[in-house]
Amino acid sequence: MKALWQSEAIARAVKGTASADFSVRNVAFDSREIQKGDLFFALKGTESDGHNYVEAAFKRGAAGAVVMSPVPYPHILVDDSYQALKDLAVASRKRNHGKIIGITGSVGKTSTKESLRLALERMAPEKVHYSLKSYNNHVGVPLSLARMPEESLFGIFEMGMNHAGELSDLTKLVQPDVALITAIAPAHAAFFADETAIAEAKSEIFEGLSSGGIAIIPHDSPYRDLLTAKAQEKKAEIRSFGFGEGATIRAQNIVREADGRVLVTASIRDRQLVFSMAMAAEHWISNAMAVLAVVDAVGGDLTLASLALGDITGFQGRGQRFDIPVGDGSAIVIDESYNANPASMAATIKALENEPKDKRRIVLLGDMLELGQNSAAYHRALADPLSHAKVDHVLLVGQEMAALEESLAGKIACDRIEKADQAEALLDEILKADDILLVKGSNSLGLSAVVSSLSKKGCACSI
């Protein structure tokens, strides 16, 4: 395997001093993730100091380290290891000549990133680099950049934020050729005055656009004009995606098929593209339009992209489905446990309307966090989509869900508990064969552990 970085190039990029010659195959800052041949960045944080784990990193096979004090292993000595990580990210971006894509949004970032990755890999196998997991913050983005092979034809970088100014810093590192905003919604609302402020913060992604860059915005968003104006300030070419008339990439016709799939006709400027999708919910179709918009912007093959979209059956924590044995039959679990905000909660619950009418619909929901003074109202508002989706039983986890419990009183069967680890026992009592169980909540609630435990009972396979 070709080396990702040579010690000489690393030292030059980070303005450091190499203790020896070495080459590395990958970059990491968590010693537990180190594999043979990796470069370990010893980052110093408020609660942990990576220098305490240098020995552990080399025991796991590290080839070199970036440190702020000498160690008895091959290393690059720098004044500030975090700044060095950003410097290496900048060097990585400069040496790459592929198409770089930046993605942000209140909802759908990771699902869209993963879908786009699969679409681009159809046309450029092993030449698509992308952010792993949800590495979308001030450490994850430079790490993802530093990991990008020089010969990558496409680079896809997810960028997140919960305060104004964060995206500005990240996008200036990434310098995307194409910048996509998936949607604007009240995620991290506690840190912003209102949704307009969230939209303005998300629009910071356009600040890093390369010369002649393309901005892709959600056409149906009430903040479309604001986002357009922000992109115009950077002299970007503006394209849009969505369902409404006038979108550059538009889902013009949607036909729901008997097997649960949907047949989508997408209008793409001067052509139409018809393809089938397993993920039939409206937010997945919107994500698909965003993916096609990006593929079109980078000059990719739209037909191959649509085939990739048709094969997607969800991602872990984001729509993946599996069977678990219940009684003499089985139930379906829909894993949306990764995270939650008012928009994603409503969209995911709404998707239950497309499920077979002869199946009971059971929902396990965890608190939506960081919503500020309007938290109770946002939680109460979930009563309407639950009612429209004809949900039979709701199991709520967390203190914030007390507002929804009150709203549902006398309308839908409901139980509320304080901690996720109590949920499985209740589910054992509630679930019956042929039920559909949806699981969704903010990460810190721990609902992913409930899903993991359930998956061990069944095949844990996508369907």
Q: Residues within the annotated binding site?
A: 105-111
Q: What are all long-range contacts of 134-139, with beta carbons under 8 Å and residues at least 24 apart?
A: 134/109, 134/110, 134/158, 134/160, 134/338, 136/109, 136/110, 136/160, 136/170, 137/166, 137/170, 138/166, 138/169, 138/170, 139/29, 139/43, 139/82, 139/85
Annotated binding site for ATP: 105-111
Question: Which bin fits 180, alpha (ψ -120 to 50), beta or left (φ > 0)?
Answer: beta
Residues 391, 360: Cα–Cα separation, whole Å: 7
Residues 130, 157: Cα–Cα separation, whole Å: 6
CA torsion sign for 188, 194, 195, 200 is negative
End-to-end CA distance of the chain: 35
- CA distances 253 to 244, 250, 256, 266, 434, Å, are 11, 9, 10, 7, 31
Residues 306, 374: Cα–Cα separation, whole Å: 39
**Phi, psi at residue 215, to the nearest 5°?**
-105, 130
Q: Are 304 and 122 in contact (CB under 8 A)?
A: yes
Q: Are 295 and 301 in contact (CB under 8 A)?
A: yes
